[in-house]
Structure 1
Amino acid sequence: MANRLAILWALVVLAVGVHQVSFWRGAHLDTDVLALLPEDEQAPEVDAATRRLADEAGRQVVLLVGAKDWTAAQQAADAATQALGQSGDVLEPAVVDTSALDQAVDFYRPYRDRLLTPSQRQWLTRATPDELGGTALMKLYQPAGAQLTDWNVDPLGLWPDWWQARAAETSARPRDGRLWLSGEGREWVLLTWKSKVSAFALGDGARVTAAVERARSRVETAVPGGRLVAAGVPLYAEAAAAQASWEMSTIGFGSLAAVLLLVWLTFRSLRPILLVGVSLLLGCAVALTVTALLFDRVHLLTLVFGSSLVGVAEDYGFHYFAARQGKAPSERGPVMRSLLPGMALALITSVVAYLALGVAPFPGLRQMAVFSAAGLTAAFLTVVCWFPSLDRGALPVTAFSERFSASITRWPRVTSTRGWWLTGAGLAVLVAVGLFRLKPQDDLRQLQGAPPNLIADQRELGRLLGLPSPAQFFLVEGDSDEQVLAREAALKQRLDPLVTQKVFAGYRAVSDWLPSEAQQREDAALSARAEAQAVAAVAASTGEAPTRAAFAQTPLTPSRFLAGPAASAIRQQWLGTLGARQYSVLMLRGLNDPKVLPRLEAVAQGLEGIRWVDKTAEISGLLGRYRRIMGGLIAAGYIAVLLTLMARFGRQAWRAWLPSVLGTLLTLALFGWVGAPLQLFTVLGLVLLLGMGVDYGIFLLEHPGDGSAWLAVALAGVSTLLSFGLLALSATPALRSFGLAMLLGEVTIWILTPCFRLPTRKATP
């Protein structure tokens, strides 16, 4: 039977090997941080809007090149452009078509009469014929070069103001064939480039970042005091990929090296090292294959998290070789059979704990749960199926293992004495105070792990350009295109007073570029009446008979607008049809103070079809909700584990169960004492403690008084600490919080578990 299992497992491993070759050739790894976040269960249209806004900027890199004066700024921009051009295999310029404005003007020309700003509507409504005539006369005698179009097309000069309102959506202005702005004591040139590859493709390293850094260096060399500020999704994606790759190497290979060193010190034989290494390698390979088969793409952070599996999956090999040490090779089968019940129970509790991560609606966490559960199972099967067949030589007891095994007799054991009761009471007080001081904090911004220089550049560039925020916006829905545009107009009427009060800088709406048909008809009638009065006044004053130009008879429709040259400025905000409804996004500029967000949220109240979206607050709320759910899951899990242990160990089950409970409580108390926030990822670490911490007690109860069981538990605990200790040093805040909880909990549980071991029975005389 054992040989059949070994052959069957070998066939599975062979299939995994074939898959690994094809997988790494394609390398479908995902670094998109949005993939780690929960999908919006209640509003898929909000998720669609968020992704549309994110995808629009997925390849774009925006740069501002500045200097003290305009001439130097142009020189610096030329130096940056030349340096970026040397990376033609990675970047390409997003060419600014100088004829785009002329094309847009020509496109809008037939509809000029129905394009009015709110202030123009107010003025045309209240202006007298004399005021209109005076304005028209002034425009008539204005030099032709200062006019955007002929006088008879725009006798009141309304169109330049409309275009100026559109230009106010960005601070950049054309100057000498470039896009220019002035701010913070410098003259700036705006450069826009695109990545030729996906922002989330790992490729051959941080090539976009390297190109930007070369351009920065070239600017600083070419122009004294020159400065380059850059931002873009590709830069963030490459930084995340580089950081995750470094951590994966550090955590994974560092843990592996530490584990193998422990095996050598304990057994002084290459055979345990090789076989434990095989179990770990196959565990990770099978985990990756299973994850790749169940998910479209494997996230890079899944591999980073999974690299900590090394500190857990070697437990089964440790237990086998610790029990096998000092026994004849012929006893391999009986040794494995004696270990199998405890190892299987430990595997079940660990896998259940890992799979509990999948309860939260985080695609990334589900991947991590599947990866870890599959990896542990594969390592377990490798030990059970192959180790008795491959472990053929002698394995003598070493001095190191003998001392470690004997140390269990010197470990303090909890008894019903006054000293232990006082110790327990003191710990209870410390835990209670720590739990009282513990503060939950679910702000999504705490999970941001981008390099500080990227964040600083992003903020400076946002200040200078007045870029809209993709995290807070208004989602407008309606039964038709017309209703969406009309509702946008109603929303803008409420936002205009806040812009005047400088609560925020402004907004960018589709209806600014494409008014509703009703608004177009109303504005066309208003401008026709006012301009007719103006033309009549000019005729009466000059004795001539000027005529007003003719305009399009049909309104500008969404389909015609979206096919025109002006749509590129706003296309990403027109979501179109989602389900049976139409949607658009109104974006806000200059949101620099979080305190104004409640005022903006209040604007949407009472407006049908208008929804305020604060994606940061929504995800933060979801993090808090699932933190509470997972907290309840921990409590339920401990009850379920206790019942499982009681089925195996009866009244003594509490000895394997209580150390994990105490480890969880002490970890939370330590977080409270040091002021560390309680986050969802902290709670997720505690979920895993439930499964892995109980393993130590299971093995000590399965083999009471057996020094080899304590040796295996000690080695497993130390290797787990090394693995999750490195994870606690991660630069990714979520992984760091998770790893810190695991580190503190594992230390506590590892120390406490032998204190609750069964009393050693005295031999009868």
Structure 2
Amino acid sequence: MRASRRIALALLWLGVLALAGWLVGSRLELSGDLRKFMPAAKTPAQKLLIDELGEGPGSRLLLVALSHGDAPTLATQSIALREALAAQPIFKLVANGGETGLEAIPERLRPYRYLLSDTLDTQAFDRAYFAAELEQRVADLGSPAAALIEPLLPRDPTLETLKLAEAWQPANAPRRLHGVWFDRAGREALLAVETQAAGFDPKGQQAAVEAIRAAFAQIGGASGTQLTVSGPGAFSVEIGGRTAREAGWIGSVDTVIFIFLLWLAYRSWKAPLLGGLPLASGGLAGLAAVTLLFDGVHGITVAFGFTLIGVAQDYPIHLFSHQRAGLSPWVSARALWPTLGTGVASTCIAYFTFLVSGVDGLEQLAVFTIAGLGVAALSTRFLLPGLLDPEPRDPADSPRLARLWSRQARWPRLHVAACVGLGIVALAIAWGAPGPFWQNDLSRLTPVPAPLLARDAQLRGELGAPDVRYVIALEAPDAEAALQALEKLQPALATLRAQHAIAAFDSAARYLPSRARQRARQAHLPERKELQRAFRGAVAASAFDADAFDGFVDDVEAARIARPLTPRDLEGTPLAATVGGLLLERDDHATALVSLSGLRDPAAVARVARAHGAQLLDLKQASESLVAAYRQRVLWALALAGVLLVFTVWVVLRRPRRVLRVLAPMALTTLVILAVLRGCGVELNLFHLVALILAAGLGLDYALFFDHAGDDRGEQLRTLHAIIVCSLTTLLVFSLLALSSIPVLRAIGSTVALGVFCNFVLALLVTRHPIRSEPADRDTHEATRTGMDNATALSS
């Protein structure tokens, strides 16, 4: 093909990629919901964990601390920050301890204070009660609390609002200074902020964190005070930023390495450019396939997908290294295709098994990888040869490569007994290494630095946050049934508190009584005339004027005839966030939660919970069981992949000896990787398993091409050249990942880097054919020669 036609084809290819990139980008919707990478929850604890992971109030809560200032300054800034954030619709709740009961109950719900308070459970609204309350109000007005009480008296002479505010105070409420929350040392003003955005919404969480920082920048000014924002949302912003930074520099270094190595290997500036075309085609194809087949593409799918299809950079390298003068690029591509296609098919089969894993994230990853590798391979086979120079330098003519080949040709080959022995030793080390084999703790995978986690724990302790491990869960047909069940459970929990089995507990029933209890309290409210008679008599005997409490009778009458409050009636109030976090309503059921603080006797709490139809859930154990279930699915998928992979290689190679010789390096490498990781004390996680599949795919490619070379010296030199370039580019890229501070990238990088090295060495020692005057494996030699002859004949 003439140079002008090659340039035209390259420009056309680039134009198609640009158009495809624009189309995919216009339809791409990224998702950050980690639940897509979780298996279906089965136990109640697992279901609760999955719900809370993305939608629960715990995932929406941001903890804010103002420091490095005197207490009055910090308190003033806390009040100003709360006012600034409360006015923004992206926040559901902003609390700093300065809220009053009136703020918790807006004007439209003010009369309901008599149904929410427990006064009517033990006290009748009669003249004696009112007289005692009015006498106490006279004393209150002479106290330092007069400024707080006086505005409430015209409509609330019994101060039910303040009783509710006191009852709703957290059991472990933070210290209050200058009317707002402070830490125990009085050095930091504290706020709790709940976002409208769910925990799995990275954009929403980032907007919330940026809004907090922007508001503080205006309020703090030049005062020198400092802001700390912690919590899941702040961590997700930190993780996202760190991942983007590390991915950016790793990607940049990766590109430089790829360009430099291809230029060094082929002494041509065209090689890096042409080699990148199949890789870009595969990446866009994978992204397009996931975009078309799924609702939203998970960010992890994109990150993993582009990492996993990095193996596609090997495809053009094999074509470049086997090209030589006098051989048409089309003929070379055709001759390589059976071997290349077998490697591609085997790798795709491994990821195809993820489609039956039942995990949406893994299914996305499978579609991305299969489509990407398939398109990269096909474009290497059917498009790339049209761009290659038909008269390149032959790598087999390189003196340096010849010297390297001569040295490795003297290496001993591993026979069956040695392979078996190596496998047994590696398996013994992997199995017998001390410490847990699997890592089940999700928190160990977090990329958040330990100091930030410690700071978050400190702030949660200062704010009196409940235990995040244990929670009592109560299932009911609807919210009303759940609230009634909670009301029966609360006396037993109060007994446990008195026995010091728990320090405190909290539930939705503390804030919102059931409709049944509200109606019972309504029945104790006197009718208007009876109330007026009793209250006027009490006022007449007091120091107050007769018309001082005009709104009180109206509020009581409104409460007496009102429809009982439901959770939906609390929308737009601070109570909505509190009740919503403790009462989870679904289409067909409701789950009431009781948060616990200072749990000292789990067994006693579990017994009480069971006696009332509830369960004490251990969310740590639930997360570990969820990870174990996830891992089991992946392991079954890998087992199926192994069977299909052996079958595929058997169909192509047909002879048991060749099949074993090709599969042995991959199998031994897997065992060696496990032995090295476990010998170094590494607990294996799910990302190690994903990386093992990638390493296995690379090992299979190396072995297939060494087998394809047969015992022909020139073919062995070209194959050695191709695999050295492939392994170096892959090794350097994944070695960079192994240096990452992000556990996910570090696990994948270290595993694949180790796998590349082991696969290369073992493929040389096991699969490489010795050079003889007569072929060691006549069938292989004849098959290779026949394939080349047929390809040459077809081209001519």
| Cross-structure match for 2:586 | 578
Give the TM-score of the pair, scaled to structure 1: 0.80
What do residues 675-716 of structure 1 show as CA deviations (whole Å, max 9, x unaligned)?
A: 111222222222333333222211222221231223222322
Q: Hey, what's the Cα distance between the residues in 2 that align with 1:461 and 1:481?
A: 32
Q: What is the 5 A alignment of 1:348-387?
A: 348-387=345-384
What do residues 7-57 of structure 1 show as CA deviations (whole Å, max 9, x unaligned)?
A: 999999866643421444676333444444445366797478426744786
| Cross-structure match for 2:438 | 440
Change (3 A) 1:574 1:737: same
Change (3 A) 1:106 1:293: closer
The answer as to whether partners of 1:659 and 1:752 remain within 8 angstroms in 2 is yes
Q: Which of these residues, 733, 741, 751, is aligned with residue 743 of structure 2?
A: 733
| Cross-structure match for 1:167 | 169
Q: CA RMSD in A?
A: 4.9
Percent identity between the two aligned chains = 23
| Cross-structure match for 1:631 | 635
Q: Hey, what's the Cα distance between the residues in 2 that align with 1:560 and 1:295?
A: 33
Change (3 A) 1:174 1:425: closer
Range with bigger deviation, 208-217 or 461-470: 208-217
The answer as to whether partners of 2:401 and 2:721 remain within 8 angstroms in 1 is yes
Range with bigger deviation, 488-497 or 694-703: 488-497
The answer as to whether partners of 2:409 and 2:770 remain within 8 angstroms in 1 is no
**Residue 271 (str. 1) matches residue 279 (str. 2):** no
The answer as to whether partners of 2:738 and 2:747 remain within 8 angstroms in 1 is yes
Q: Hey, what's the Cα distance between the residues in 1 that align with 2:376 and 2:733?
A: 16
| Cross-structure match for 1:721 | 731
Amino acid at match of 2:330: G
The answer as to whether partners of 1:241 and 1:300 remain within 8 angstroms in 2 is no
Query: Which secondary structure does the structure 1 equivalent of 2:439 belong to?
Result: coil
Change (3 A) 1:361 1:500: farther
Q: Hey, what's the Cα distance between the residues in 1 that align with 2:207 and 2:103?
A: 38
In the alignment, structure 1 segments of 5+ residues that lack a partner are: 1-5
| Cross-structure match for 2:447 | 449
| Cross-structure match for 1:3 | none
| Cross-structure match for 1:410 | 410
| Cross-structure match for 2:705 | 699
Amino acid at match of 1:268: R
Amino acid at match of 1:229: T
What do residues 639-666 of structure 1 show as CA deviations (whole Å, max 9, x unaligned)?
A: 4322332333212210111111111112
Q: Hey, what's the Cα distance between the residues in 2 that align with 1:169 and 1:204?
A: 28
Query: Which secondary structure does the structure 2 equivalent of 1:186 belong to?
Result: coil
Query: Which secondary structure does the structure 2 equivalent of 1:180 belong to?
Result: strand
The answer as to whether partners of 2:82 and 2:94 remain within 8 angstroms in 1 is no
Q: Hey, what's the Cα distance between the residues in 2 that align with 1:365 and 1:563?
A: 37
Give the drift of 1:752: 0.8
| Cross-structure match for 1:492 | 490
Amino acid at match of 1:164: E
Q: Hey, what's the Cα distance between the residues in 1 that align with 2:223 and 2:667?
A: 63
Amino acid at match of 2:263: W
Query: Which secondary structure does the structure 1 equivalent of 2:228 belong to?
Result: strand
Range with bigger deviation, 431-440 or 164-173: 164-173
What do residues 415-463 of structure 1 show as CA deviations (whole Å, max 9, x unaligned)?
A: 47xxx74x96476335313312262221111121124454334223211
The answer as to whether partners of 1:728 and 1:738 remain within 8 angstroms in 2 is yes
Query: Which secondary structure does the structure 2 equivalent of 1:167 belong to?
Result: coil
Give the drift of 1:413: 0.8
Change (3 A) 1:308 1:411: farther
Q: What is the 5 A alignment of 1:644-659?
A: 644-649=648-653, 650-652=655-657, 653-659=659-665
Change (3 A) 1:688 1:492: farther
| Cross-structure match for 2:785 | none
Give the drift of 1:335: 1.6
The answer as to whether partners of 1:721 and 1:746 remain within 8 angstroms in 2 is yes
The answer as to whether partners of 1:255 and 1:311 remain within 8 angstroms in 2 is no
Q: Which of these residues, 319, 330, 335, is aligned with residue 333 of structure 1?
A: 330
Change (3 A) 1:216 1:753: farther
The answer as to whether partners of 1:172 and 1:190 remain within 8 angstroms in 2 is no
Query: Which secondary structure does the structure 2 equivalent of 1:570 belong to?
Result: helix
| Cross-structure match for 1:180 | 181
Q: Give the number of aligned pairs.
A: 731
Amino acid at match of 1:605: R
Give the drift of 1:160: 3.9
**Residue 394 (str. 1) matches residue 391 (str. 2):** yes
In the alignment, structure 2 segments of 5+ residues that lack a partner are: 1-6, 776-796
Amino acid at match of 2:304: F
Give the TM-score of the pair, scaled to structure 2: 0.77
Give the drift of 1:483: 1.2
Amino acid at match of 2:773: A
The answer as to whether partners of 2:92 and 2:577 remain within 8 angstroms in 1 is no
Change (3 A) 1:628 1:489: same
What do residues 300-332 of structure 1 show as CA deviations (whole Å, max 9, x unaligned)?
A: 3333323424641111112112211x332x532
Give the drift of 1:565: 4.4
Range with bigger deviation, 336-345 or 47-56: 47-56
| Cross-structure match for 2:427 | 431
Q: Hey, what's the Cα distance between the residues in 2 that align with 1:746 and 1:564?
A: 57
Give the drift of 1:754: 1.5
Q: Hey, what's the Cα distance between the residues in 2 that align with 1:55 and 1:676?
A: 34
| Cross-structure match for 1:346 | 343
| Cross-structure match for 1:641 | 645
Give the drift of 1:502: 5.4
Amino acid at match of 1:658: A
Change (3 A) 1:505 1:53: farther
